[in-house]
Amino acid sequence: MEGHIEIFQGSPCKENLIFSEKNLIVDGAGMHVVDILTNLHSPSALTHKIQASSIKDFGIKAITLGSAQGATGYNRYSVSADSGPSALTPIPPQPTDTTIQPATTGPGKEGHFLNYYNFSSATGLTLEEVRKHGCYLPSAGIYFDGSTFGYTHDGSVSNDMSGAVSGHLNTQGAINSDGYILESTVARSAQTLADASGGFIVSGNRLEVSGTRMVKYVLTITYEDWKFLDYYYGGIGAIGLWTLDREATLAKYNNESETAEIDLYKVADTTRNPVFKLFAKKVFLPGGLKLNEATVYDDYITITWGLKF
């Protein structure tokens, strides 16, 4: 098995390609393959009395984004004190990794960007603590002054992010409080590239997959979501693919009657956030993914991640 990542500024076409390289398949992928090839467990065979696994539980279930080194030295957003961007040196990947960057503090406490802004009422943190953890623009929006994002706001340069700005991933309910970006809620058979900004989509029907032996996962990061992460949280320096750790997830449930279905999309219930296993990761050069300087404000990043079997 091998993986390959392509990053595009805008739609995924040759002239928009800004990055192309293989990713690292980590040990968690091997464990996942063993799970697939092993007979589905009966409830009595597991530590927790839970229902047998469903084939629906397998496959890539989430994508995460993170800055280099788990956002050490990040620059959180503050209305009163705008700080400049940082370029962090990434930690090289290892096959034994279980996070996309080492877990640290603040927005890097899980090794990737968290989503505490959108779930601030459920975190039990103060506003300042929520800002420290970040990292995605909430669905309700944040109001940015004209001087944010390094703009002097003297009239010579327009601040494209001033005013109230909302995050598209949160507006679509495609990301939970732990920062795991889920698949688009659009039925897979009907998914198009336009759906990839509301969660990742999965390309290739059965005939295409059997011919190429590759499945592609496609995610669009809108300009607003990218710029907020880039300027205030160290930039996108690493990304990861995740599968579901079903037994660990079901340990959060009280009894067997509750475990018929794991609904990944009940993101409002942060106590039931699923547990995932890292399948593959990619670490970028210092500064992370960058849009070209001559960009328009409706630009976006398209990530295509192919796994070849």
Residue 32 has pLDDT above 50, yes or no: yes
Domain boundaries, the chain: 2-308
- pLDDT > 90 fraction of the chain, expressed in percent and rounded: 28
d(CA 272, CA 275): 9
Residue 217 has pLDDT above 90, yes or no: yes
Residue 121 has pLDDT above 70, yes or no: yes
Give the residue from 126, 255, 195, 213 showing the smallest Cα distance to 204: 213
Query: What mean pLDDT comes out for the span 62-89?
Result: 61
**pLDDT recorded at residue 54:** 52
Q: Are 164 and 141 in contact (CB under 8 A)?
A: yes
More confident of the two residues 181 and 27 = 181
More confident of the two residues 176 and 204 = 176
Residue 77 has pLDDT above 90, yes or no: no
Query: What mean pLDDT comes out for the span 255-279?
Result: 77
Map residue 99 onto helix, strand or coil. coil
**pLDDT recorded at residue 225:** 92
d(CA 140, CA 13): 33
Which residues in the chain belong to E strands, given as ranges?
2-9, 17-22, 24-25, 60-66, 142-144, 163-165, 181-182, 201-203, 214-222, 238-244, 276-283, 300-308
pLDDT tens sequence across 106-118: 677 888 999 999 9
Pairing of strands 214-222, 238-244: unpaired
Residue 253 has pLDDT above 50, yes or no: yes
Residue 214 has pLDDT above 50, yes or no: yes
Residue 39 has pLDDT above 60, yes or no: no
Q: How confident is the model at residue 85 (pLDDT cuts 50, 70, 90)?
A: very low
User: Given the structure tokens 């390959």, which residue do they identify?
Assistant: 4
How high does pLDDT run on average in the chain?
A: 79
Map residue 79 onto helix, strand or coil. coil
Q: How confident is the model at residue 146 (pLDDT cuts 50, 70, 90)?
A: confident
Give the residue from 171, 178, 190, 185 showing the smallest Cα distance to 265: 185
Query: What mean pLDDT comes out for the span 167-179?
Result: 93
d(CA 91, CA 102): 8
Which residues face 301 on adjacent strands? 9, 221
Query: What mean pLDDT comes out for the span 48-52?
Result: 45
- In angstroms, the Cα distances linking 121 to 9, 127, 177, 190, 213 are 35, 10, 11, 35, 44
* The model's pTM: 0.85
* Listed range (124-133, 200-209, 216-225) with the worst mean pLDDT: 200-209
Phi, psi of 150 (to 5 degrees): 80, 5
What would the 3-class secondary structure string for 237-289 be? CEEEEEEECHHHHHCCCCCHHHCCCCCCCCCCCHHHCCCEEEEEEEECCCCCC
Residue 305 has pLDDT above 90, yes or no: yes
**pLDDT recorded at residue 276:** 94
